[in-house]
A = this chain, B = another copy of it.
């Protein structure tokens, strides 16, 4: 099932990647593997690279949309890589999945109908289904191979794909969204970076479609890059969102295997009364245990909106 991956020297690859200044926008579509190490190299974070030691490569293919790699690592558990970028590691995936899901879900009074765009590994779905108010979930993922690969190799994330509340569509997120009008309480966009198949999920058109797809009082949450690396991109995303939604906010969490060790979350509400910083429901310790939460709790929710001063002064209105 695995095709042969491209072995290349770390040095050769990095030299080619950034040979002429930082303006290079070469697309990375083969993972950089040197000996027993995988290195993440991307034009979206030039001049730096994070490497994880491989124990065993389990799967590698080109899906038609992107390069898909799964390996067991020495210290980060199983790792899913798309187009050379780490998407999840078993060691820290819960931070991202819990925060991208529970920040919007606990900010909505009664989230019943949920749409997930992307999220092919199943981690967001797993978290959404923990909320007893949820009646149905629609998920639209562009790449069916990511779903299949995750079911096979990442069952701790993908086991919820068999849940009867789920309707799974394989297709383009923006196209799907444009057909939905006033349907959802929550839309979560769990996308890769704005290079490659997820590019359309970062523009104004996408956010306008999100607004239309929501019921009154609806909320959207999207992956929002890292303030340490992409402050201007985030600023521009938030400016676009503020033209469409009456309430827009930005939070972040730590995720060691993502570039700079953190990732942000863009949150927008149709309801002018939404305050994302004050969750509407609180889980007691026993419930936090029952839900298996390892990153999120009510205090973490509130603190996630407190950005380092360089970021808060740049991003908050």
Contacts and interface: CB of A to CB of B under 8 A. Distances in A.
Interface residues of A, number: 51
A306 B304 CA distance: 9
A47 B39 contact: no
A254 B133 CA distance: 34
A31 to B, nearest CB: 15
Contacts of A75: 22, 46-48
> Which residue among A48, A300, A302, A307 has the maximum number of chain B CB atoms within 10 Å of its CB?
A48
15 contacts: A10-B10, A10-B11, A37-B49, A39-B51, A47-B53, A47-B74, A47-B75, A48-B50, A48-B52, A48-B76, A49-B51, A95-B308, A228-B254, A253-B308, A254-B262
Interface string A228-256: 11000000000000000000000001101
Contacts of A288: 309
Given A262-B262, A288-B309, 7 more contacts: A10-B37, A11-B35, A47-B73, A48-B52, A48-B75, A228-B254, A294-B309
A228 B294 CA distance: 12
Contacts of A51: 14, 39, 48-51
What is the count of identical protomers in the complex?
Answer: 2
Interface string A34-49: 1111010000001111
A184 interface: no
A75 B297 CA distance: 35
A51 B306 CA distance: 28
Contacts of A22: 74-75
Contacts of A76: 47-48
Nearest to A34: B11
A264 to B, nearest CB: 11
Interface in A153-199: none
Given A294-B308, A309-B295, A53 B14 contact: yes
Contacts of A92: 228
A302 B309 contact: no
> Which residue among A15, A229, A256 has the maximum number of chain B CB atoms within 10 Å of its CB?
A256
Interface string A80-124: 000000000000100100000000000000000000000000000
A303 B277 CA distance: 12
Interface string A214-230: 00000000000010110
A189 to B, nearest CB: 23
A209 interface: no
Nearest to A253: B308
Nearest to A295: B308
A259 to B, nearest CB: 8
A26 to B, nearest CB: 15
A39 B41 CA distance: 13
Contacts of A310: 294-295
A296 interface: yes
